[in-house]
Structures are given as C-alpha cells and as structure tokens.
C-alpha cells in the first residue's frame, strides 16, 4: 500500500479475497501488478493502511475504519 501526498491510496499485490480493495473482473487469485488507486477510499482522508493475509484495514483521520478482503 501507499498513500500519495495528495491523499490517494494505492494498492497492489495478490487480490484473491479482494484484500487489495480493488474490484477486478478476473479469476480469483489474480495479482494486481501495478499500483492502482482504491477508489472506494477517495476523499476519506486515510492516514494509515495495513494488510493481513486475506484482509486489509484503513483508518481515516476522523477515526473511521474501512475493511476489505
């Protein structure tokens, strides 16, 4: 994961369970091979993001927690 200086949240890697937060129309186990914006987090002022084996969590500056995977 990466958070850009302008607040975009980028993700890449194994997305078998949707843990990258990116909607793709390809088979399970697909790899997101390049940094791709997590559009569902646009405008959420994410300050921290972390990933587990099959899930990920993002924290906004207002204390909201977003999960995927």
Q: pLDDT digit string (tens) for 28-51?
A: 558 899 999 999 999 999 999 999
CA distance 27 to 16: 8
Percent of the chain with pLDDT over 90: 81
pLDDT of the residue at 64? 99
Per-residue pLDDT band at 55 (split at 50, 70, 90): very high
CA distance 38 to 35: 9
Contact by Cβ (8 Å): 37, 12: no
Beta-bridge partners for 67: 57
Per-residue pLDDT band at 24 (split at 50, 70, 90): confident
Contact by Cβ (8 Å): 21, 68: yes
Considering the entire predicted model, what is its pTM? 0.88
């Amino acid at each position: 994961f990466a958070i850009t200086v302008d607040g975009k949240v980028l993700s890449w890697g194994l997305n078998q369970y949707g843990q990258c937060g990116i909607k793709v129309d390809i088979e399970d186990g697909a790899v997101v091979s390049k940094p791709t914006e997590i559009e569902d987090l646009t405008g959420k002022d994410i300050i921290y993001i972390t990933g587990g084996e099959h899930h990920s969590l993002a924290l906004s500056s207002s204390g909201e927690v977003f999960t995927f995977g």
